[in-house]
Amino acid sequence: MTAALGMFAHPFVRNAFVAGTAIAVAAGLVGYFVVLRGQVFTGDALSHVAVTGALAALAFGVDARAGLFASTIVVGMAMAGFARRGRADDVVIGSVFAWVLGLGVLFLSVYITSRSTGNGAAGVSVLFGSILGLSAGHARTAALVAAGVVVAVALIGRPLLFASVDDDVAAARGVPVRALGIAFLALVGVVAAEATQAVGALLLLELLAAPAGAALRLTARPYIALSLSAGIAVAATWGGLTASYLLPRVPPSFAIVAVASAVYALTFLVPRVRRSGSSASM
Amino acid sequence: MIGAAGAHASWNVVDDVRQLFEFTFMVNALRAGTIVAVVAGVVGWFMVLRREAFAGHTLALVGFPGAAGAVWLGVDAAWGYFGFCLGAALVIAGLGTGGAGSAGGAGGRYSEESAGIGVVQAFALACGFLFVSLYGGFLNGVNALLFGTFLGITDGQVLVLLVVAAAALVVVGAVGRPLLFASVDPDVAAARGVGVRGLNVVFLVLLGLTVAEVSQITGTLLVFALLVMPAATAQHMTARPQTGLCVTVALAVAVTWLGLAVAYFTPYPIGFFVTTFAFAAYVGAAATRLLRLRTG
């Protein structure tokens, strides 16, 4: 326990906790809608776009974050824009992101061959994150971005929920379903770009899908599920960071994903318990 | 990729082709690429029809921890690919409620299953990363596992690919007709006594086998290029199942050959070329169809 508390003496651990918490809250909130709208595959595609965005920025010698945010937000909005009612077809998504990844491979090889100092490690940290390498400035940016995401979710939450549950009725009642779909995927893009820096492009889907999937299994009430989703994401991040501090050979992004997966797996036990309880009382 | 090693492309096509077949590794790469492209085309066509792209993608990514784990334990990577992909196929089949379109189709309502698939996928990738970290110091190996390499394919590997591909094609031949029926209309097929649920499991296992094969050439992240794009292109070109299947396989093979050939003469990775050619075909087919709809 003291060993676990002692880790806060290190500034890089504090930065990781600040950034990790902010990213987890944003991903948990947005992830709830991603799962509710059946757009997990879209989130998956955006995470791969983030790879290419970051690698392109590296290849051209720009700050990786510029590439990340530009690519995920633009592609997210484009996917929503081309699709019927703001939800893209999965074959289209699959074709586009396979090609985008192909571009990413090209940028990676350009980066590796053109810069003598560059090596495969850069690609690996884009893919799997480097949360312990974040500076105080990164952590502050992450917190600001997350605050923005929370405000945005608070603003569009109600109509988005309506449109997600029943888009026909929502459209009939005058909710701008299509615009909401585009705005929402832009928001997912922001979260994807932010989360790439912490857990890596390939693992951010976990932060979107696992807490939200778990929350949706535990409760049917939207606002409780929304907060539960953010709570589980934060708990998984803290648990993962602590575990990777105590077990130095375990990379933090693996630990975070493992905790989140375990929470999701545990929720499969819950409904059965409830159901057998209610049938026993009848 | 080995353009610096002395291969030079010229306008003399015959000479270019001769250069392509000059080295054993390249001949093996072409053999392996062809085998993989044929299986990927056939199974990918059914996958697109069944709208199980997300499940296919997840199975592909599961190959990464399989291969990384196998390397960590010092076993042949092929064991890791096949073992993990088949295991994941069974897990997804167990999670699912069965039937086409259940695996996270984008038009669907909130599906618990798609969240489950997402979790399986991210956890698998994280495990792969853990194995890589535990093994330590093969960072360039990670890129090869994720983005593919066609260098250093042995005769033995080609043989394994061929045997597995043949087995997969035999299974497709055996269940092809009921699978087509069950994919197009699961409800009617079930009513007519077709074992839709059993077929779903068989197909996912088939998909697992296929992605395990394709991953070994294109890398875990680019399996989709051969699995989805040729099939999606063919569906823009024809609605007939038999023609569609043939077009898909032809496209997959053509794209692989072109990709291999161009990658051989340039310093850039094969993954980029294969995905780019496949995507170009897809965009071309989609645009042609759109134009025809507008004018006709």
Q: Does B119 contact A90 at a Cβ distance shorter than 8 Å?
A: no
Task: Kindly state whether A166 is in contact with chain B, defined as any CB-CB distance less than 8 angstroms.
Answer: no
> B61 contacts in A (CB within 8 Å)?
202
What is the average pLDDT across B13-40?
Answer: 84
Choose from A138-142, A259-263, B138-142, B287-291 the range with maximum mean pLDDT: A259-263
Q: Does B112 contact A205 at a Cβ distance shorter than 8 Å?
A: no
Q: Could you please state the CATH topology (level 3) that the domain comprising B3-295 is classified under.
A: ABC transporter involved in vitamin B12 uptake, BtuC (1.10.3470)
Query: Which residue in the block uniquely carries the two structure tokens 């955006």?
Result: A46
The tally of domains found in chain A comes to: 1
Task: Kindly state whether A186 is in contact with chain B, defined as any CB-CB distance less than 8 angstroms.
Answer: no
> A124 contacts in B (CB within 8 Å)?
132, 139, 142-143
Q: A176 — alpha (psi -120 to 50), left (phi > 0) or beta?
A: beta
pLDDT (0 to 100) of residue B133: 80
Q: Show pLDDT as tens, one digit a residue, over chain A (282 residues).
A: 566 677 778 888 888 899 999 999 999 999 999 998 888 888 888 888 888 888 888 888 888 888 889 989 988 888 877 766 545 567 778 888 888 888 888 888 888 776 655 555 666 777 787 788 788 888 888 899 999 999 999 999 888 888 888 878 888 888 888 888 889 999 999 999 888 887 888 888 888 999 999 998 888 888 899 999 999 999 999 999 999 888 888 888 899 999 999 999 898 887 543 433 333 333
Question: Is residue A256 within 8 Å of A199, Cβ to Cβ?
Answer: yes
pLDDT at residue B250 is higher than 90: yes
DSSP string, A38-53: T-HHHHHHHHHHHHHH
Q: A262 lies in which domain range?
A: 2-281
CATH code of A266's domain: 1.10.3470.10
> B229 contacts in A (CB within 8 Å)?
94-95, 98-99
pLDDT digits (tens, 9 = 90+) for B176-226: 888 888 888 888 888 888 888 888 889 999 999 999 988 887 777 778 888
pLDDT (0 to 100) of residue A117: 53
Question: Is residue A30 within 8 Å of A188, Cβ to Cβ?
Answer: yes
Considering only the beta carbons, identify the residue of A35, A113, A202 that sits closest to B110: A35
Task: Kindly state whether A91 is in contact with chain B, defined as any CB-CB distance less than 8 angstroms.
Answer: yes
The distance of A109 to chain B (nearest Cα, Å) reads 7
pLDDT top residue among B58 and B102: B58
The structure tokens listed for B235 are 């569906």
